[in-house]
């Protein structure tokens, strides 16, 4: 492999036979030479200290950008997790409120049912009213409710 320490592009071009000339390549501002074919590469200009420093500076900038991007991604992920957690908390609180409300409604319904079951039926109330009546008044009322009324001893005699 031949190395051209200070060869310019023109010199490089002229130093190769016409049928062997390839593409002159650069990496950043650094000239690196010709690609002759798949297997042969001729080194052009040796990188100077300035080129190396520029390359190192670019690498540092890229690393810093990557770190910043990673930090931003982590912050976004953390924010999303916080939002998800808050949503879950709100959902749980809502479910608890719904459950408590449902329990209260059930208790109220049970209390109402219990209170309703303790009330005497219409027929019981009428029977009691008729039993307290006497004489003709009782028999008149009793005839209108034959199933629920028992005649008093006075009426039988």
Domain annotation covers residue 157: no
60 shares a domain with 22 = no
Structural domain that includes position 33? 1-47
Q: Helix/strand/coil (H, E, C) string of the chain?
A: CCECCCCCHHHHHHHCCHHHCCEEEEECCEEEEEECCCCCEEECCCCCHHHHHHHHHHHHHHHHHHHHHHHHHHHHHHHHHHHHHHHHHHHHHHHHHHHHHHHHHHHHHHHHHHHHHHCCCHHHHHHHHHHHCCHHHHHHHHHHCCCCCCCCHHHHC
53 shares a domain with 40 = no
Kindly indicate the confidence band of residue 145, based on its pLDDT and cuts at 50, 70 and 90: low
Domain annotation covers residue 112: no
pLDDT of residue 111: 86
CB 41 within 8 A of CB 35: yes
pLDDT of residue 147: 53
pTM, entire model: 0.37
- pLDDT tens digit string along 91-113? 999 999 999 999 999 999 988 88
- pLDDT tens digit string along 14-49? 554 444 444 444 455 545 555 555 555 555 544 556
64 shares a domain with 43 = no
């Amino acid at each position: 492999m031949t190395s051209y320490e200070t060869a310019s592009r023109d010199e490089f071009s002229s130093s190769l036979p016409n049928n062997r000339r390839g593409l002159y390549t650069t990496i950043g501002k650094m000239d690196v030479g010709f690609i002759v074919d798949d297997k042969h590469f001729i080194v052009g200009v040796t990188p100077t200290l300035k080129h190396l420093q520029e390359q190192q500076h670019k690498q540092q900038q890229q690393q810093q950008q990557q770190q910043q991007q990673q930090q931003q991604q982590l912050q976004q992920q953390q924010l999303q997790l916080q939002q998800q957690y808050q949503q879950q908390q709100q959902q749980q609180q809502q479910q608890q409120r719904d459950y408590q409300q449902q329990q209260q409604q059930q208790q109220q319904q049970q209390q109402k049912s219990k209170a309703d079951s303790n009330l005497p039926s219409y027929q019981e109330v009428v029977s009691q009213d008729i039993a307290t009546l006497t004489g003709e008044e009782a028999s008149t009322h009793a005839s209108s409710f034959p199933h629920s009324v028992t005649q008093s001893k006075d009426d039988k005699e």
